[in-house]
């Protein structure tokens, strides 16, 4: 059972914050951020919610696919920054777009969320429980950043990407995924404190903490290995791949993965949007997919690789035909 992408969409908050803008509020510089990460700017929410961005992206994907929201059987949102504990973002999206026949739920796989969502959809398709799905990766990460911690707040951005996918008998869908919970502390944001009549934790709101070097090492080792495995499973070689659409965390991670996969320094097959968006966790792969799609870079039948990796730790690499 394979997946077919019928349409894609994405949405970013209106407010663009450049590295120079950030240098006005935290002790950093354009030179530091650009040289270590490749990031030049990011979009930050000035009120746009995770649900609103998801809905905007979904409407664009539905429009491109030319299908009615009522024909969607399954809605999955990958997010670590929902507006509410419950209901899920997926249920809020369902209500907003009128996808009355869908089953809807969120998953937390951080930057791998969109990829994990695609695999869940593939499983539903294989079982015959769904035929058409809306998969979203969406974040308002600015709400979980410590805006006094220059080591993290400069890296991330807000936004959402969506894809309408359908099951098909022929075609390609091979995915390799994994998790390493033992390294979870490398990238962590704690929930609100436990407070009840019998127990009171300190009343402290927590924000994102990251061991940047540990995450960097994990990414450059695990991602190329997972991609190679997925390509082997699919019987696909580098020469067959039109584009590698990687999670947009850091240009140096992408360059390193590119080198390990293709042996060269060229990023031609590794499109990037992180310069303008920063790292949008679960949003980054579907936003990049939508960008490539709308730029006319993808044609039917093109073989593409997509890979997500991040907190958990989690990772997933997939090979599919566009």
Catalytic residues: 111, 247, 279
Regarding 24 and contact with ligand ACO (CB under 6 A), the answer is no
CA 20 to chain centre: 26
Question: HSE (CB half, 13 Å, CA atoms) of 76?
Answer: 27
Q: How far apart are the first and last CA of the chain?
A: 14
User: What are 108's two structure tokens?
Assistant: 């937390």
Confirm or reject binding of residue 189 to ligand ACO (CB under 6 A). no
Candidates 17, 141, 249, 254; binder of ligand ACO (CB under 6 A) is 249
Stretch that binds ligand ACO, among 27-35, 197-205, 227-235, 238-246 (CB under 6 A): 27-35
Q: Is residue 166 classed as helix, strand or coil in its secondary structure?
A: strand
Q: Which of 18, 216, 267, 275 binds ligand ACO (CB under 6 A)?
A: 216
Residue 50 backbone phi and psi in degrees, to 5: -60, -40
Shortest separation between residue 221's beta carbon and ligand ACO, angstroms: 12
Q: Are 103 and 73 in contact (CB under 8 A)?
A: yes
For ligand ACO, the closer CB: 71 or 272: 272
The CA distance from 47 to 252, in Å, is 31
Measured CA to CA in angstroms, residue 159 lies from 4, 223, 288, 307 at distances of: 24, 23, 11, 18
The binder of ligand ACO chosen from 6, 15, 28, 294 (CB under 6 A) = 28
317 touching ligand ACO, by CB under 6 A = no
By CB under 6 A, tell whether 250 contacts ligand ACO. Answer: yes
**Shortest distance in whole angstroms from residue 253 CB to ligand ACO:** 6
Residue 66 CB, nearest approach to ligand ACO (Å):
33
Identify the helix (H) or strand (E) that includes residue 245.
Answer: strand 241-246
Closest distance of CB 249 from ligand ACO, Å = 4
Q: Per CB under 6 A, does 42 bind ligand ACO?
A: no
Q: How near is the Cβ of 292 to ligand ACO at its closest, in Å?
A: 19
Site string for ligand ACO, 109-148 (x = CB under 6 A): --x-------------------------------------
Residue 63, H or E segment = helix 50-65
**Nearer residue to ligand ACO within complex by CB, 1 or 188:** 188
> Could you give the CA distance from residue 92 to residue 105 in angstroms, rounded to a whole number?
10
203-216 b/e with 16+ CB inside 10 Å = b? eeeebbebeeeebb
Instruction: Confirm or reject binding of residue 151 to ligand ACO (CB under 6 A).
Output: yes
User: Which residues form the interface with ligand ACO (CB under 6 A)?
Assistant: 28, 32-33, 36-37, 111, 150-151, 154-155, 187, 210, 212-213, 215-216, 219, 249-250, 279, 309-310
């Amino acid at each position: 059972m394979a997946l077919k992408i019928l349409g894609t969409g994405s949405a970013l908050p209106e407010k663009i914050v450049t590295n120079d803008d950030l240098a006005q509020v935290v002790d950093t510089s354009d030179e530091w951020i650009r040289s270590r990460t490749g990031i030049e700017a990011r979009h930050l929410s000035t009120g746009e919610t995770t649900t609103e961005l998801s809905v905007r992206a979904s409407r664009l994907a539905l429009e491109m696919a030319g299908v009615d929201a009522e024909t969607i059987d399954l809605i999955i949102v990958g997010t670590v920054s929902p507006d509410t504990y419950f209901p899920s973002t997926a249920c809020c999206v369902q209500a907003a777009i009128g996808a009355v026949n869908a089953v809807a739920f969120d998953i937390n796989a951080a930057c791998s969320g969109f990829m994990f969502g695609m695999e869940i959809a593939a499983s539903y398709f294989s079982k015959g429980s769904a035929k058409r799905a809306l998969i979203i990766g969406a974040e308002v990460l600015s709400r979980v950043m410590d805006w006094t911690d220059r080591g993290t707040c400069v890296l991330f951005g807000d936004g959402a990407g969506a894809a309408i996918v359908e099951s098909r008998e022929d075609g390609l869908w091979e995915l390799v995924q994994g998790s390493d919970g033992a390294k979870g502390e490398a990238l962590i944001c704690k929930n609100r404190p436990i407070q009840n009549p019998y127990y009171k934790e300190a009343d402290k709101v927590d924000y994102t903490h990251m061991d940047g070097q540990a995450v960097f090492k994990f990414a450059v080792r695990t991602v190329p290995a997972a991609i190679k495995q997925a390509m082997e499973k699919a019987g696909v070689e580098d020469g067959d791949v039109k584009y590698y659409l990687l999670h947009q965390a850091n240009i140096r991670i992408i360059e390193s993965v590119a080198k390990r996969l293709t042996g060269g320094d060229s990023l031609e097959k590794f499109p990037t949007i992180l310069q303008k968006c920063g790292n949008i966790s679960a949003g980054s792969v579907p936003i990049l997919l939508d960008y490539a799609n709308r730029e006319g870079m993808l044609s039917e039948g093109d073989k593409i690789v997509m890979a997500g990796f991040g907190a958990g730790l989690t990772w997933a690499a997939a090979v599919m035909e566009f």
